[in-house]
Amino acid sequence: MKAVLNGQVIIYGTGGSTLQAQRETLVFVHGAGFDHAVWTPMARYFARHGLNVVALDLPGHGGSDGPACRTIEAMSDVLSGLLDFLNLSQATIVGHSMGTLVALFMAQRYPQQVSKMVLLGTSNPMPVGPPLLAAAAEGHHAAIEMANMFSHSRRGMLGASANPGLHSFNAAQRWMERLPAGVFHADLTACNNFELEIENCAILTLVLVGEADKMTPAKAGQSVATQLSNARVHMLKGCGHAMMTEQPNAVLDAVSNFVLG
Amino acid sequence: MDKKEHRGPPRIGFDTLSLHAGQTPDETGSRATPIYQTASFVLPDSDFAAGLFNMERAGHVYSRLSNPTNAVLEERMAALDQGVGAIATASGQAATHLGVCTIVSAGDHIVASRSLYGGTHNLFSYTLKRFGIDTTFVDPRDMDAFAAAVQPNTKLVFGEVLGNPGLEVLDIPALAQLSHEHGLPLMVDATLTTPYLCQPISLGADLVVHSATKFLSGHGVVIGGVLVDGGTFNWAGSDKFPTLTEPYAGFHDLVFTEEFGPQAFITRARKEGIRDFGACMSPMSAFQILQGLETLSLRMDRHVSNTVQLVEFLAAHPLVQSVNYPGLAQHPDYALGQRLMPLGVGAVFTLTLQGGRRAGALFIDALELFSHLANVGDAKSLVIHPASTTHHRMDEQALAAAGISEGLVRISVGLEDPVDLISDLSKALRSVEKRL
Identity (one letter) of the amino acid at B303? H
Residue ending a domain, among B249, B268, B293, is B293
In a domain, B102, yes or no: yes
Assign B2 a pLDDT band (cuts: 50, 70, 90). Answer: low
Q: B187 and B140 share a domain? A: yes
Q: What are phi and psi of B131, to 5 degrees?
A: -100, 15
Please report which residue ranges of B169-315 form alpha helices under DSSP H. 172-181, 194-197, 242-245, 256-260, 264-268, 275-276, 283-293, 296-315
In contact, A76 and A105? CB cutoff 8 Å: yes
Q: B217 and B135 share a domain? A: yes
With a cut of 60, say whether residue B1 has pLDDT above it. no
Q: What are phi and psi of B264, to 5 degrees?
A: -60, -45
Average pLDDT, rounded, for chain B: 94
Whether residue B56 and residue A44 make contact (CB cut-off 8 A), yes or no, is: yes
Chain B window 195-254: which residues touch A at a Cβ cutoff of 8 Å? Answer: 230-232, 234, 252
Residue A104's closest CA among A1, A195, A12, A210?
A195
- Structure-model confidence comparison of residues B1 and B137, the more confident one: B137
Q: For residue B423, give its domain range.
A: 296-435
Whether residue A159 and residue B21 make contact (CB cut-off 8 A), yes or no, is: yes
Tell me which DSSP letter residue A68 carries: P
For residues A71 and A166, what is the distance between their CA atoms, to the nearest angstrom? Answer: 33
What CATH number does residue B271 fall under?
3.40.640.10
Query: Based on the number of CB atoms within 10 Å of its own CB, is B44 exposed (0-12), middle (13-18) or buried (19 or more)?
Result: exposed
Q: B267 and B412 share a domain? A: no
In a domain, B55, yes or no: yes
Total of domains in chain B: 2
In a domain, B8, yes or no: no
In a domain, B7, yes or no: no
Q: B326 and B270 share a domain? A: no
With a cut of 70, say whether residue B74 has pLDDT above it. yes
Residue A13's alpha-carbon distances to A62, A65, A199, B306, B430, in angstroms, are 11, 15, 32, 55, 72
H or E element at residue B427:
helix B418-435
Q: B33 and B58 share a domain? A: yes
Q: Which residues contact B273 (CB under 8 A, 6 or more apart)?
A: B87, B98, B101, B102
CB of A161 within 8 Å of any CB in chain B? yes
A217-234 residue pLDDT tens: 999 999 999 999 999 999
B237-246 residue pLDDT tens: 999 999 999 9
Whether residue B88 and residue A165 make contact (CB cut-off 8 A), yes or no, is: yes
With a cut of 70, say whether residue B183 has pLDDT above it. yes
pLDDT at residue number B157: 98
Q: B37 and B184 share a domain? A: yes
Whether residue A160 and residue B24 make contact (CB cut-off 8 A), yes or no, is: yes
In a domain, B3, yes or no: no
In a domain, B339, yes or no: yes
Q: CA-nearest residue of chain A to B87?
A: A165
Tell me the mean pLDDT in the region B293-308.
98
Tell me the mean pLDDT in the region B26-55.
95
Q: Which residues contact A258 (CB under 8 A, 6 or more apart)?
A: A116, A118, A206, A232
Residue ending a domain, among B274, B293, B312, is B293
**ipTM of the complex model:** 0.96
What CATH number does residue B339 fall under?
3.90.1150.10
Assign B94 a pLDDT band (cuts: 50, 70, 90). Answer: very high
Compute the CA torsion angle B75, B76, B79, B80 (nearest 10 deg).
Answer: -150
Task: Output the CA angle B85-B87-B88, nearest 5 degrees.
Answer: 140
B338-377 residue pLDDT tens: 999 999 999 999 999 998 888 988 999 999 999 999 889 9
In contact, B160 and B192? CB cutoff 8 Å: yes
Q: B326 and B254 share a domain? A: no
Q: B240 and B334 share a domain? A: no
Identity (one letter) of the amino acid at B282? S
Strand order in the sheet with B134-138: B85-89, B225-229, B207-211, B186-189, B154-160, B109-113, B134-138
A40-70: b or e for each residue (b if 16 or more CB lie within 10 Å)?
A: bbbbbbbbbbebbbbbbbbbbbbbbebebbb
Q: B112 and B157 share a domain? A: yes
Assign A128 a pLDDT band (cuts: 50, 70, 90). Answer: very high
Tell me which DSSP letter residue B9 carries: S
Name which CATH class applies to A2-260.
alpha beta
pLDDT at residue number B4: 53
A33-70 residue pLDDT tens: 999 999 999 999 999 999 999 999 999 999 999 999 99
Assign B185 a pLDDT band (cuts: 50, 70, 90). Answer: very high
In a domain, B4, yes or no: no
- Compute the nearest-CA separation of B342 from chain A (Å): 23
pLDDT at residue number B397: 80
With a cut of 80, say whether residue B7 has pLDDT above it. no
Residue ending a domain, among B272, B293, B314, is B293
In a domain, B261, yes or no: yes
Q: B320 and B180 share a domain? A: no
Long-range interactions of B120-125: CB distance < 8 A, separation 24+ = B120/B93, B120/B96, B120/B160, B120/B189, B121/B391, B121/B393, B121/B394, B121/B398, B121/B402, B122/B393, B123/B93, B123/B96, B123/B97, B124/B158, B125/B398
Whether residue A164 and residue B60 make contact (CB cut-off 8 A), yes or no, is: yes
Domain residue spans in chain A? 2-260
Tell me the mean pLDDT in the region B36-40.
97
Tell me the mean pLDDT in the region B373-400.
84
